A and B are shown apart, each in its own frame.
Chain A
């Protein structure tokens, strides 16, 4: 079955550490997205990538970085510059230029100790 996988499901980080969240899709989708979800709030866009080797900042990119070296993979690094990284992180993808609905992964819950 095609889908989006995220790992790990739970991640704990000490203050001052960088951590990388994995997102892989086998849907052959072009565009991929990272969102952040905080309790009682909707999702906010961190970064997105329309094609390989290209990515753009979303609405809350500060303290995060990404890469898109392969179509299937879009890892997110939460750096020590992110002041409040504890949140639920969701990866999503869209198939082609006409867009349409986004497909979401199961999410990674990051907690800073």
Chain B
């Protein structure tokens, strides 16, 4: 089956620090990979995505590269801000399964201190 494993949080950083949140996956088929962000009490927002090996998704200073050889999709940001404090979910979707639902990791809470 499909699964996503994320590093456990919370991750606590000072403003302007470098961020890495690890994500690895197992999938039957050829997945698309996503990072979603959830702010307190809200739904999920797509942060970035990659649909094939070696693709790099990027948005708002966040980046992640689809690494098929290591089955990974680690999220990085060079300089975090207090406003980046949220829960981050790594997810995958295998389009040929028919249901196209997302399989999520357990989420990583990021706390950025001023």
Contact = CB atoms under 8 A, between A and B. Distances in A.
Given A40-B107, A99-B95, A105 B102 contact: no
Size class of the B contact interface (CB-based, 8 Å): 20 to 34
Size class of the A contact interface (CB-based, 8 Å): 20 to 34
Contact of A107 (B43, B99, B104): B43
A106 B43 CA distance: 4
Given A99-B32, A101-B34, A90 B106 contact: no
B74 to A, nearest CB: 17
A42 B43 contact: no
Interface of B: 4, 32, 34, 36, 41-46, 49, 89, 91, 93, 95, 98-102, 104-107
5 contacts: A42-B107, A48-B99, A90-B43, A99-B100, A104-B45
Interface of A: 4, 6, 31, 33, 40-45, 48, 50, 56, 58, 90, 92, 94, 98-107, 109
